[in-house]
């Protein structure tokens, strides 16, 4: 082999290696070696998995902020009952994880060898607020990290999904009003009274619908969305201010409301799917999050085109936020918290998954959705404290 042939082979090999290196660089979002990234471990409540796993979000976090984020799935309740370590959910140190699974309850966040977290990302504000308090040892709650900072990060309001014909009838009853193409439940008390009195759909001019007026929701006893909705109803009955006195007057009404609601789904995804598939006759009105319709429109544009002219979104006035709240415990956790302020990440959160990131909704063009969604959400009630929710749920389970 002569000198020219050897040089040619060397150049060819170098080109191949360069191409492979460039592809690895591109696929990793700009970092060839993972060791250059800071890994952040986050205990994460449900409802935002698709957004957090979004390919573009992951690339932005890696390339722009040099963060490799590991989001471990946790239920909200377990974040205060179990030690907030990866081994509690079967991850991290395999020996410790197996020991915990076998019933060893001696581990804490301070135990040697455990895998700790940099942050907590709840899917309900009440758990975020509650985590910042001292643990209730008498109730068996685990030690907690010191929260250095955080706030509401991803928000979506509670709404009621219905259909054009039903909304027209509710407008005739003075329950619903329309403003700039957006429909509001302006008299929630009247709608609740109709349900408690057992009025039928035929009583409001809808003889084609069978049975009593009802709003389907997930079960507040077992579901966070359902509990948030019943918290809104309690606030409505209490005229926005829940006190020790008026809560005892209103809990029996909510118990009646709960009983009249009948069968309830445990997950909002199942309920929303039934709403879309069974139509007005199967699910006249359901409670869910605003983000559900935006997520559906993005993931199934053909299906959305088929139903968008008949669907109506009703905004209770006031409504209540479902807020995914981020609390960080370390400097690495703070880096991710600050990254969520990235304008591109916020735009993805809204356009693809329906999460609002501003206090009143952010600076988005809602007209592109093609259905009545307000630019901002300003009429809201505050999230209730954990103690109030506990009292509400206990009464629904066991109250007379």
**Residues 38-82: tens digit of each pLDDT:** 999 999 999 999 999 999 999 999 999 999 999 999 999 999 999
Q: Which CATH architecture has domain 155-322+370-398?
A: 3-Layer(aba) Sandwich (3.40)
Could you tell me how many residues make up the chain? 400
- Report pLDDT digits (tens) over 261-300: 877 877 788 899 999 999 999 999 999 999 999 999 988 9
**pTM > 0.75:** yes
List of residues 6+ apart from 307 with CB closer than 8 A: 276
List of residues 6+ apart from 236 with CB closer than 8 A: 188, 189, 192, 316, 318, 381
- Report pLDDT digits (tens) over 202-250: 999 999 999 999 999 999 998 888 999 999 999 999 988 888 888 999 9
Phi-psi region of 320 (alpha: psi -120 to 50; beta: other; left: phi over 0): beta
Please say if the pLDDT value at position 126 is more than 90.
Answer: yes
Per-domain residue ranges of the chain: 155-322+370-398
Q: What is the pLDDT of residue 8?
A: 54
CA angle 150, 152, 157 (to 5 degrees): 170
Decide: helix, strand or coil at residue 320. Answer: strand
């Amino acid at each position: 082999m002569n000198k020219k042939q050897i040089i040619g082979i060397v150049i060819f090999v170098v080109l191949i290696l360069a191409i492979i290196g460039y592809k690895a660089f591109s696929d990793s979002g700009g970092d060839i070696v993972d060791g250059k990234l800071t890994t952040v471990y986050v205990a994460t409540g449900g409802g935002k998995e698709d957004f957090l796993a979004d390919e573009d979000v992951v690339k932005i976090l890696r390339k722009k902020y040099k963060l490799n984020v590991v989001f471990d799935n946790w239920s909200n309740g377990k974040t205060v009952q179990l030690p907030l370590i990866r081994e509690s959910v079967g991850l991290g140190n395999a020996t410790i994880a197996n020991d915990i699974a076998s019933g060893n309850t001696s581990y804490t966040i301070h135990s040697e060898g455990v895998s700790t977290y940099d942050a907590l990302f709840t899917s309900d504000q009440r758990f975020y607020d509650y985590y910042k308090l001292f643990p209730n040892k008498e109730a068996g709650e685990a030690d907690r990290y010191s929260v250095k900072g955080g706030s509401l990060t991803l928000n979506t309001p509670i709404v009621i999904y219905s259909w054009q014909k039903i909304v027209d009838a509710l407008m005739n009853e003075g329950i619903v009003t329309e403003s700039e193409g957006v429909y509001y439940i302006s008299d929630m008390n009247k709608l609740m009274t109709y349900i408690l009195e057992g009025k039928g759909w035929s009583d409001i001019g809808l003889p084609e619908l069978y049975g009593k007026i009802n709003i389907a929701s997930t079960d507040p006893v077992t579901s966070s969305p359902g509990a948030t909705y019943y918290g809104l109803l309690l606030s409505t009955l209490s005229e926005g201010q829940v006190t020790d006195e008026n809560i005892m007057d209103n809990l029996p009404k909510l118990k009646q409301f709960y009983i009249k609601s009948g069968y309830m789904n445990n997950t909002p995804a199942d309920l929303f799917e039934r709403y879309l598939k069974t139509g007005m006759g199967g699910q006249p009105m359901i409670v869910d999050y605003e983000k559900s319709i935006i997520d559906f429109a993005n993931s199934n544009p053909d299906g959305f085109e088929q139903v968008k002219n008949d669907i109506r979104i009703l905004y209770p006035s006031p409504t209540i936020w479902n807020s995914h709240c981020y609390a960080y415990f370390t400097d690495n956790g703070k880096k991710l918290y600050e990254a969520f302020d990235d304008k591109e990440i916020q735009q993805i959160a809204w356009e693809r998954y329906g999460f609002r990131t501003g206090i009143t909704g952010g600076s988005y063009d809602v007209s592109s959705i093609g259905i009545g969604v307000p630019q901002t959400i300003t009429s809201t009630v505050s999230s209730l404290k954990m103690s109030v929710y506990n009292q509400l749920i206990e009464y629904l389970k066991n109250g007379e």
